């Protein structure tokens, strides 16, 4: 398929007769891409699920695309990813690897392992500078940069993140069904998680690490479902290789758990979009419309950086929309 695209390109360009080619078409493509240019139709920053999905739509539209990726997806510590059809239970990196291999079949898509450190507006589009000192230019940008979760200062928490300290019942709740479960949160967030998780297990304790913040109605509901509330501050998570043994409290007491849900804060993984003028929502996501356009013309965003719906499926879906909408915008400008 890749060489078919090159073949068509060469025929269109009338460069030389196909019968006279001295070496295979795939080599021509590689030579071209290496020798040339740092100018692309689109630069995608972030080459995980959302970015690769956008790249596929653009590669299939014969757009010259550069993906810049620093190789740090948010789910890197999770042994198995769930709830994405055809890949349920697969290792997160294996899903991305398969996606990358398929996307790079399209000759007009290039992958560059590097960290994008800054961006600026140019007369015709944008320029991105990377940590290793490269400058790349493109008419359009897609940010698929994800978010960075901020680990609380609790010993053992970071080591368990994604293994037995989990963020989402849809991703990992089934694996801990009927098991002894903690919910490390307070107020609305804790109540919401408790109501969701209650469908998976009836052994729930909410760990508020301070005075519980529930209204009378919420308190009554939690009581009705035998959901305990512990207000003592959590100080440590004892674990073996990320698998929780006990939650340890400030006063030295412990409770054993199989899993703990935690709602923790996040920051944007890249500050380039904001530096370029993209607005954030109150929750800290990049503001986009239904077509994944940010508030700056020519810049699109997809995946975790622009939505609270954190899942591989959603990242892939919004990446696909972003890819096609970037292509549409290019068509409208150039046709
Ligand atoms: C612990 C955990 C477990 C999860 N488990 C599941 C699960 O089982 N099932 C499920 O559906 N979802 C799961 N999720 C959610 C899912 O992982 C995310 O929704 C998904 O990874 C989002 O994809 P993304 O492409 O938007 O961002 P990410 O996958 O986070 O990728 C962002 C990419 O952008 C790159 N990047 C960022 N800034 C720059 C820069 N300046 N220059 C270059 N590259 C940059 C990063 O290195 C990274 O490769 C989990 C999330 C977490 C945190």
Q: What is the pLDDT along the chain (335 residues), one digit of tens a residue?
A: 344 443 333 333 333 233 333 333 333 343 344 445 799 999 999 999 999 999 999 999 999 999 999 999 999 999 999 999 999 999 999 999 999 999 999 999 999 999 999 999 999 999 999 999 999 999 999 999 999 999 999 999 999 999 999 999 999 999 999 999 999 999 999 999 999 999 999 999 999 999 999 999 999 999 999 999 999 999 999 999 999 999 999 999 999 999 999 989 999 999 999 999 999 999 999 999 999 999 999 999 999 999 999 999 999 999 999 999 999 999 999 99
Residue with tokens 């804060």: 265
Homologous superfamily of 37-149+266-334: FAD/NAD(P)-binding domain (3.50.50.60)
In ligand 1, the atom with minimum distance to the C-alpha of 166 is 1
In ligand 1, the atom with minimum distance to the C-alpha of 312 is 11
Q: What is the 227 CA–ligand 1 centroid distance (Å)?
A: 32
Question: 81: Cβ–Cβ under 8 A, 6 or more apart, which residues?
Answer: 75, 87, 88, 89, 90, 91, 92, 95, 171, 312
Query: Are the folds of 37-149+266-334 and 157-262 the same?
Result: yes
Q: What is the 253 CA–ligand 1 centroid distance (Å)?
A: 35
Say how far apart CA 97 and CA 77 lie, in whole Å. 16
Q: The CATH number of 157-262 is which of 3.50.50.60, 3.30.70.3270, 3.90.550.10, 3.40.50.300?
A: 3.50.50.60
Nearest to 276 by CA among 259, 257, 304, 296: 296
- Return the best residue to mutate from 93, 304, 317 for the ligand 1 pocket (most ligand atoms within 8 A of CB): 304
Residue with tokens 């060489």: 3
Say how far apart CA 186 and CA 199 lie, in whole Å. 19
Exposed, middle or buried by CB within 10 Å (0-12, 13-18, 19+), for 158?
Answer: middle
Nearest to 54 by CA among 35, 72, 41: 41
Which tokens go with 3?
């060489």
Summarised one tens digit per residue, pLDDT across range 80-109 is 999 999 999 999 999 999 999 999 999 999
In ligand 1, the atom with minimum distance to the C-alpha of 114 is 43
**250, 251, 253, 258: CA torsion to nearest 10:** -10
- Return the best residue to mutate from 54, 69, 132, 149 for the ligand 1 pocket (most ligand atoms within 8 A of CB): 69
Strand partners, 237: 247
Instruction: Give backbone dihedrals phi and psi of 136, rounded to 5 degrees, phi first.
Output: -125, 145
Exposed, middle or buried by CB within 10 Å (0-12, 13-18, 19+), for 10?
Answer: middle
Q: What is the 147 CA–ligand 1 centroid distance (Å)?
A: 7
| CB of 169 shorter than 6 A to ligand 1 | no
In ligand 1, the atom with minimum distance to the C-alpha of 68 is 43
Give the residue extent of every domain in the chain. Answer: 37-149+266-334, 157-262
Question: Which pTM value belongs to this model?
Answer: 0.90
């Amino acid at each position: 398929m890749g060489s078919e695209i090159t073949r068509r390109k060469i025929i269109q360009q009338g460069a030389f007769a196909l019968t006279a080619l001295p070496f295979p078409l795939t080599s021509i493509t590689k030579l071209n891409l290496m020798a040339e240019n740092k100018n692309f139709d689109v630069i995608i920053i972030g080459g995980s699920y959302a970015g690769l999905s956008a790249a596929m739509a653009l590669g299939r539209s014969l757009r010259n695309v550069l993906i810049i990726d620093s190789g740090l997806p948010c789910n890197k510590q999770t042994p198995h990813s769930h709830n994405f059809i055809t890949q349920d239970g697969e290792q997160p990196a294996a899903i991305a690897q398969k996606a990358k291999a398929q996307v790079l079949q399209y000759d007009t898509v290039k992958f560059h392992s590097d960290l994008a450190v800054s961006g600026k507006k140019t007369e015709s589009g944008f320029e991105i500078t990377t940590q290793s000192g490269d400058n790349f230019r493109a008419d359009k940008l897609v940010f698929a940069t994800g978010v960075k979760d901020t680990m609380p200062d609790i010993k053992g928490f970071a080591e368990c993140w994604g293994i037995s300290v989990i963020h989402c019942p849809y991703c990992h709740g089934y694996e801990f069904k009927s098991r002894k479960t903690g919910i490390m949160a307070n107020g609305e967030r804790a109540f919401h998680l408790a109501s969701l998780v209650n469908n998976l297990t009836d052994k729930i304790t909410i760990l508020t690490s301070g005075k519980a913040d529930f209204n009378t109605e919420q308190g009554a509901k939690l009581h009705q479902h035998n959901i305990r509330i512990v207000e003592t501050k959590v100080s440590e998570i004892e674990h073996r290789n990320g698998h929780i043994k006990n939650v340890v409290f400030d006063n030295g007491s412990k409770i054993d758990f199989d899993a703990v849900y935690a709602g923790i804060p996040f920051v944007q993984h890249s500050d380039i979009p904001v530096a370029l003028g993209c607005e954030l929502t109150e929750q800290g996501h990049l503001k986009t419309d239904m077509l994944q356009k940010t508030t700056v013309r020519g810049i699109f965003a997809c995946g975790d950086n622009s939505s609270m719906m954190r899942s591989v499926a959603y990242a892939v879906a919004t990446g696909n929309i972003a890819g096609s909408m970037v292509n549409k915008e290019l068509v409208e400008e150039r046709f």
